[in-house]
Amino acid sequence: MNEEEKEQIKKEIEEEMNKKKKKHRFLKGFLFGAGATILGNVMKISIIGLGYVGLTSALCFQRLGHEVIGVDMNPNKVSLINEEISPINGYTIPLDMRFKATSNIKEAILNSEISFICVQTPTTKGKLDLSYLKKACKQIGEAIKKKKHHLIVVRSTIFPGSYEILKKIIEKSSEKKCGKGFDMALNPEFLREKTAIKDFFNPSYVVVGAETKEIGLNVLECYKGIDAKKFIVKLEVAQMIKYLNNSWHALKISYTNEIGRICEELKIDGDKLMALFCADKKLNISEKYHKIGSPFSGSCLPKDLAVLQNNINKLKLNCPIIQSISKSNEEHKRKWKK
């Protein structure tokens, strides 16, 4: 065997090893999202803000076959992403989900047709800080001045009323009117930090808030290949749904823990009790009792609730949620009568 033949065999072995290495890294980081299908038009997407939500969105949109460019003002984060290294500890960037990152927001806007704003919206004593969002919207507005059209989607969590504030900022900095030169929409995220990529590809639903159905459909085009219910709703609903979801989850956890404290005092297996509770999918874990309307009444609910509250007091326990249910119902009665 001459040197040329040896070199050829060596090259073939290296190519095969690289293929296996790439496949292994891909499976390690993405197996849980393998059910997604690449469908629909290829969209040119820019992601503004590369924290958990932005990074996940960028990776997953790229996996769906779209062209993605990520933007972050932190140059170290941008450098790491471009070197295919995750800027977030414990987060893997699979090979076939990599994308380009930059700190130049204008470059990203000019090279995309739709932007998802994923910057942080921190809170201080319950007050929502929109400063990062306002800055991003101002920069986006300045970048689209000479563009014929751009679609801007707010993915960050905002409270009802915030959308109008952001829209006015973009209108002022772009010297355009929303609906003429640019459109806006909302796309609330429901990603948990530890399972963000899995949640993206396996959501309960995809929600888009938009002024028109056409705008909503343009946003949903990015989600072609995601097998989930998709809703186009009013802007106010899209702003409120995340707060409804998370307050409900917090309530469930806190209520369940109150039941757990009662069970502990009564020497009852709380886990088995909750398993029995969750086995009822017709009433307990269902759409029942989730219609906004009249306060609860009748014989069973008030009577049994009163007995439970009385025994909580006897046990000298502090269960503020259960103990406040009657008060909340009385307040609703007063409002309901009006």
- Among 142, 137, 146, 100, CA closest to 117: 137
CA 11 – CA 333 distance, rounded (Å): 79
Instruction: Tell me the pLDDT of the chain averaged across its residues.
Output: 88
- Give the residue with greater pLDDT, 89 vs 234: 234
Question: Residues 52-100: pLDDT tens digits?
Answer: 999 999 999 999 999 999 999 999 999 988 888 888 776 767 656 778 9
| In contact, 218 and 116? CB cutoff 8 Å | no
Question: Residues 251-288: pLDDT tens digits?
Answer: 999 999 999 999 999 999 999 999 999 999 999 999 99
Residues in the chain, how many?
338
The residues, any chain, with a CB within 8 Å of residue 139's CB and separated by 6 or more, are 105, 106, 173
Residue 13's pLDDT is what? Answer: 46
Catalytic residue among 263, 278, 300, 319: 300
pTM given for the model? 0.84
Residue 120's pLDDT is what? Answer: 94
pLDDT classification of 338: cutoffs 50, 70, 90 = low
CA 191 – CA 246 distance, rounded (Å): 11
Residue 36 pLDDT greater than 90, yes or no: no
Residue 188 pLDDT greater than 60, yes or no: yes
Residue 4's pLDDT is what? Answer: 63
- Among 62, 3, 63, 75, CA closest to 31: 63
Quickly list DSSP for 261-324.
HHHHHTT--HHHHHHHHHT-TTTTSSSTT-S--SPP-SSHHHHHHHHHHHHHHHTT---HHHHH
Over residues 283-295, mean pLDDT: 93
Q: Which two tokens stand for residue 23?
A: 């496949």
The residues, any chain, with a CB within 8 Å of residue 278's CB and separated by 6 or more, are 284, 285
* Sign for the pseudo-dihedral over CA of 273, 275, 279, 281: positive
The β-bridge partners of 181 are: 177
Angle at 64 between CA 59 and CA 70, to 5 degrees: 35
pLDDT classification of 29: cutoffs 50, 70, 90 = very low
The residues, any chain, with a CB within 8 Å of residue 111's CB and separated by 6 or more, are 44, 46, 69
The β-bridge partners of 68 are: 45
| In contact, 149 and 184? CB cutoff 8 Å | no
Catalytic residue at 300?
A: yes
Question: Residues 198-224: pLDDT tens digits?
Answer: 999 999 999 999 999 999 999 999 999
DSSP letter at 8 equals H
Residue 255's pLDDT is what? Answer: 97
H/E element, 99: none
Residue 88's pLDDT is what? Answer: 79
Please, what is the end-to-end C-alpha distance for the chain in angstroms? 96
pLDDT classification of 12: cutoffs 50, 70, 90 = low
Residue 30 pLDDT greater than 50, yes or no: no
Which domains can be identified in the chain, with CATH numbers?
35-233 (3.40.50.720), 246-337 (3.40.50.720)
Token look-up 């689209």 returns 144
CA 233 – CA 184 distance, rounded (Å): 13
Q: Which two tokens stand for residue 122?
A: 């921190």
The least confident of 20-34, 90-104, 129-143, 313-327 is: 20-34
> With pLDDT > 90 as the criterion, what percentage of the chain qualifies?
77
Three-state secondary structure call for residue 233: strand
